[in-house]
Chain A
Amino acid sequence: DAKTTQPTSMDCAEGRAANLPCNHSTISGNEYVYWYRQIHSQGPQYIIHGLKNNETNEMASLIITEDRKSSTLILPHATLRDTAVYYCIVRVAMAGANSKLTFGKGITLSVRP
């Protein structure tokens, strides 16, 4: 699986958009970008994933650059409950592939009141 690079930490004000960047310059054509988060020792929680088109769900938006070498997770209106470690993960999603998740160190998002 391609390696990802994320800043160590960032913060944002409550109610503002949080934009979390991720670099995955070695991503290959059959690899998807996934985002998970972990709130203080709880089990990781799936947020969103995409291949090359931008994606949006009730939790967040995922913007993937045209060359797919980087992406941004956007939490449109961050709340205190969004304070967590956010993991950007790249992996193949096809039959026969190992569908394990390879977690890096992630980015710690702190939402301030």
Chain B
Amino acid sequence: DSGVTQTPKHLITATGQRVTLRCSPRSGDLSVYWYQQSLDQGLQFLIQYYNGEERAKGNILERFSAQQFPDLHSELNLSSLELGDSALYFCASTGDRGYGDEQFFGPGTRLTVL
């Protein structure tokens, strides 16, 4: 158990819909990363937040957005969903340096878009 929790575990929805994925980092970790893992693209970095502020952006679509709240949990919002958004979404957290530390990954949310 990494100490990172993600909800829900599974999500099935239809094209065009909007969903919110939630991540609670390990206690005390200030940095949260979001990754997407699809069959054809592998594991890809989406976005990083550090203590409530966006720190780095990767291959995140404009239809996707994220935020980190004062209690440090983070949400990833996916809108206008397409079939190709079906994937595993992982979040990871690290300690207060926000860089270079080992990342602890949650169990993931499996999103299926029908």
Q: Give A contacts to B, CB under 8 Å.
A: 32, 34, 38, 41-46, 49, 87, 91-105
Contact = CB atoms under 8 A, between A and B. Distances in A.
Contacts of B88: 41
A103 B105 CA distance: 14
Contacts of A32: 100
B84 interface: no
Contacts of A93: 99-100
* Interface size range of chain B in the complex: 20 to 34
Given A99-B48, A99-B94, A100-B48, A43 B108 contact: yes
Contacts of A44: 43, 90, 92, 103, 105
B56 interface: yes
B48 A41 contact: no
Contact of B99 (A41, A42, A49, A99): A99
* Majority secondary structure, A binding face: loop
A82 B67 CA distance: 35
Interface of B: 2, 4, 31, 33, 35, 42-45, 48, 55-56, 58, 88, 90, 92, 94, 97-108, 110
A28 B24 CA distance: 34
Given A43-B4, A43-B105, A99 B100 contact: yes
22 contacts: A41-B88, A41-B108, A44-B92, A44-B105, A45-B105, A46-B104, A87-B43, A91-B100, A92-B100, A94-B99, A95-B97, A97-B99, A97-B100, A98-B48, A98-B55, A98-B56, A99-B98, A99-B100, A100-B45, A101-B33, A103-B35, A105-B42
A46 B45 contact: no
Nearest to B100: A93
